[in-house]
Structure 1
């Protein structure tokens, strides 16, 4: 039975023979040793692009028999091959040959998919190969077959095809013919949906570009597989996708597809009206979004009414956002605070869209106040699912990211403690320490969900969130909350000790009989604001 090894790159561990002076030299007996080499690095599976070549060398000594056998779609090239050579077709020798007894062969891969290259050697003595498959060191011994010692080795090669971009373009959920040269007409404020369905060449990413032919600049870009591009500006545009493949040990490739169909944005037939919520930014700017871009204007502050806790506050300025022409930025003369109840109204007629529509009036729309969370997103809402939350060193239970329950998004942090365990504990390390200001009060909170069926949860069982390095403070609570629903746990915090990580634990009762599953989500630290 042949001993076959699937590997990518094998390092040769050659035998070293000591030297003596000429007059004491004794001729060595013939050695049996095994070694092989490829030109594409270390991996269990070698990878390269189609129409590329790879060198395979048998460095064994004392072999009785030696032969390379090739899969289909592989040709042998005549060497040597210079670094700048690209015309491999002209170097093919022995077309159609599927074997060779040369010690070193240059192989040209002309078909995509998983290919194999086999090396068969026999020896009069037992040999052992010592190598590394890119992950682990290993030893491969020969087998005694038909009165010979046999090493039968197969290299597996993943050959990537050339990337050929393929896309779908939709307008109002209907597929449009992007391969035609007929113009795609889009009303201002509407979307086109660009969908990347490329499979040939196994791309790992893409970038969409929408080019403004008037300004000769990119109007919009996206790296999403499905890009919904809103066209708010009148004019003519061209779209393209750059589909690419990259990654560690993956051969790179890419191709650009320029959409033949031009895109023309025309005036909208819809009202120019508010689109989405009015909200406050961290710098106390109130943002109003419409369904199209604004034409330049001045002196429109008197047409906006901003009520703060039922008192009208004067508007200092109304401007178009520098980065998004669909947004108006309102600044007030006086400061506003998170607990404030704010509404905005507009009764003007002089603010227009870029396609000459008049901005619709609106009355008493509430403002969503800023809640800038100081906790990084990947720690706060869990949807990154990136492993930032992990076991604490003394953990006895199970810590995992879960889609069973979520207060927001898709994921939450799941902590499971079983009877007989003292705790289940997790930590999340901040990439940069969070620095607190001594003259401010902070509000620390998280949401938790106690699953049905929890037992042994009476005190002293408890749940603690520590803000390390401040071991002297914890957000403590017990299990005395409704079962089977999300609840918010909150406490105020005053400290100047930097926060480098969260330490979260569930402690069992005194008899270690607690058996419970608890989900956590939406960890938050906010600066507390109060109107003076």
Structure 2
């Protein structure tokens, strides 16, 4: 008779506590089936020196056998899942064939392994399984007087993770495996490069910790620098001795996890910098109206220095409430004013030179009338606004006739922009972007919608009737139009005020040709923004 089977993916705990050979069918029939402790995947994934349990559920078989590779071993069950000394369960003398119903296979070398189950029957049987939600049948093959079901399980055995790193100082490779000290000036950085491939790692974390002297107590938070990048530039702003560590990991759905920690042999010694202690970037306003001033080193603790700073707002000197070192990043000063500030304000900061020093005893250098970059909380998600994910957030609209793509040919900021191209005779070029969470607008508030646009030189038919439009869906009543009477070959900014309580779930952007459809042009878009409008009372 022709029988069917059901492939079961049961937890190994359910069968590991049983005697491997105690099963006996209640009556005579022929049927074929099996399960493993890992489920029904096409390929079983396991760590090196771990095991998988296989159980044959077939009934009425004439012969039955499991065959493994000689580098692997059968284990004697039952086995506790918390047991880490698996080698003591190896069945001796070793063999690569077993006739037990349930086997536990220990994988002692990495690579793709095969576990073979071979059953023979006196009558026709069919295995019915499911892979990737697709059902399939595997009928027995007649060989001589018997019917054979021959199944091979593929097992991918991951090797242990092996950290491999490279370290550069000022572009030159340094020997991180020696015990010779790596010297670096305060404010400089080292480049840490993860070259690990063995074990297929999926991530890493670099950490820099203070190197402790004998008998010294570990600080509450000894980490002074960290990064998750495969190529990490980590600055050393504090004097002292440090150690560099890398924690290498493999994680992911259905992937056997692994983790290994590596500490560089070479210690790192930070010495006083020969460079001036000075402003190192833009002065910015944070969302809470803090003015933040970055320097190229860490500040030593100070107090009472407010009189040496001057902050002007729209040309008027404002009273300073406090000047302090940022609690989370000692390379930054936080300035708070007594009076509130607003986004349209024009603010400058000056420092006349007081008694502020870096932790390596350098005096902070004065500066004058440096403008403040004001805080703008962009409601448009970064992937849609700046396009720096390089794909996916913007796609073609269903009725698009032109060309839509991400491009690195032009960018207002970063590397990418959105490129729309329309040729003569085409009805449009249309792109759209969906918001994962709709933007909610508050009643009574005004918002400024803006983007940047670059028209490629050589456009044809771009008269007043050809235009580009940005729609805020689902508010079809609002259309942000621009004709192409703009400078060509340079980025231009375009903005409009907006008041509505309709949630925004989608951008829709398009180029429409002139009336004769002779328009042929390429336009790049970047830096989409929606911010709440602020006005000084």
- TM-score of the pair, normalised by structure 1: 0.83
How many Å apart are 1:506 and its aligned residue?
A: 4.8
How many Å apart are 1:504 and its aligned residue?
A: 3.5
Which runs of structure 2 are paired with 1:394-405 in the superposition (5 Å)?
Answer: 401-403=406-408, 405=410
1:447 paired to 2:452: yes
How many Å apart are 1:335 and its aligned residue?
A: 4.5
Q: Deviations over 1:109-155 (max 9, x none)?
A: 01111222223334444332221224433333334555654433222
Change (3 A) 1:143 1:418: farther
Q: Could you tell me which residue of structure 1 aligns to residue 179 of structure 2?
A: 181
Q: Deviations over 1:435-473 (max 9, x none)?
A: 334443322122345668988877866543222332321
How many Å apart are 1:336 and its aligned residue?
A: 4.2
Q: Deviations over 1:180-237 (max 9, x none)?
A: 3343333222222222222222221122222234734222222222222222222333
Of 25, 38, 42, 2:40 maps to 42
Of 367, 373, 386, 1:381 maps to 386
1: CA distance, partners of 2:246 / 2:274:
30
Q: Could you tell me which residue of structure 2 aligns to residue 465 of structure 1?
A: 470
1:349 paired to 2:354: yes
2: CA distance, partners of 1:205 / 1:243:
6
Greater shift in the superposed pair: 478-487 or 228-237: 478-487
Change (3 A) 1:49 1:528: same
2: CA distance, partners of 1:461 / 1:123:
77
Change (3 A) 1:36 1:516: farther
Change (3 A) 1:483 1:316: same
Which runs of structure 2 are paired with 1:8-407 in the superposition (5 Å)?
Answer: 10-11=7-8, 31-93=29-91, 97-144=95-142, 148-212=146-210, 213=212, 215-217=219-221, 218-385=223-390, 387-390=392-395, 401-403=406-408, 405-407=410-412
Q: What SS does structure 1 have at the residue aligned with 2:355?
A: coil
Name structure 2 gaps, 5 residues minimum.
Answer: 1-5, 11-24, 213-217
1:489 paired to 2:486: no
Q: Could you tell me which residue of structure 2 aligns to residue 502 of structure 1?
A: 507
Q: What SS does structure 1 have at the residue aligned with 2:103?
A: strand
Q: Could you tell me which residue of structure 1 aligns to residue 14 of structure 2?
A: none
2: CA distance, partners of 1:102 / 1:415:
66
Change (3 A) 1:510 1:67: farther
1: CA distance, partners of 2:177 / 2:301:
36
Q: What SS does structure 2 have at the residue aligned with 1:63?
A: coil
Q: Deviations over 1:247-300 (max 9, x none)?
A: 100111111223333333332222211112222323333322111111222232
2: CA distance, partners of 1:402 / 1:116:
46
Change (3 A) 1:354 1:136: same
Q: What is the root-mean-square deviation in Å for CA atoms of aligned residues? A: 3.6
Q: Could you tell me which residue of structure 2 aligns to residue 528 of structure 1?
A: 533
Q: Deviations over 1:63-88 (max 9, x none)?
A: 34443332352212222323333322
Change (3 A) 1:348 1:85: closer
Q: Deviations over 1:373-429 (max 9, x none)?
A: 221212211223573445656667776555555433233445567899866655434
Change (3 A) 1:104 1:510: farther
CA contact 2:386–2:527 (8 Å) conserved in 1: yes
Residues paired across the two proteins, number: 511
2: CA distance, partners of 1:341 / 1:40:
63
1: CA distance, partners of 2:334 / 2:400:
49
- TM-score of the pair, normalised by structure 2: 0.82
Greater shift in the superposed pair: 424-433 or 188-197: 424-433
CA contact 2:161–2:201 (8 Å) conserved in 1: yes
Change (3 A) 1:408 1:62: farther
CA contact 2:38–2:44 (8 Å) conserved in 1: yes
2: CA distance, partners of 1:389 / 1:311:
44
Change (3 A) 1:80 1:507: farther
CA contact 1:414–1:519 (8 Å) conserved in 2: yes
CA contact 1:42–1:134 (8 Å) conserved in 2: no
Q: What SS does structure 1 have at the residue aligned with 2:384?
A: helix
Change (3 A) 1:32 1:192: same
CA contact 1:12–1:35 (8 Å) conserved in 2: no
Q: Deviations over 1:336-394 (max 9, x none)?
A: 44444443322223111122211112233333333332212122112235734456566
Q: Could you tell me which residue of structure 2 aligns to residue 434 of structure 1?
A: 439
CA contact 1:76–1:95 (8 Å) conserved in 2: no
Change (3 A) 1:72 1:503: farther
Greater shift in the superposed pair: 319-328 or 379-388: 379-388
Name structure 1 gaps, 5 residues minimum.
Answer: 1-8, 14-26
How many Å apart are 1:53 and its aligned residue?
A: 0.6
How many Å apart are 1:489 and its aligned residue?
A: 3.5
Change (3 A) 1:194 1:421: same
1: CA distance, partners of 2:144 / 2:518:
65
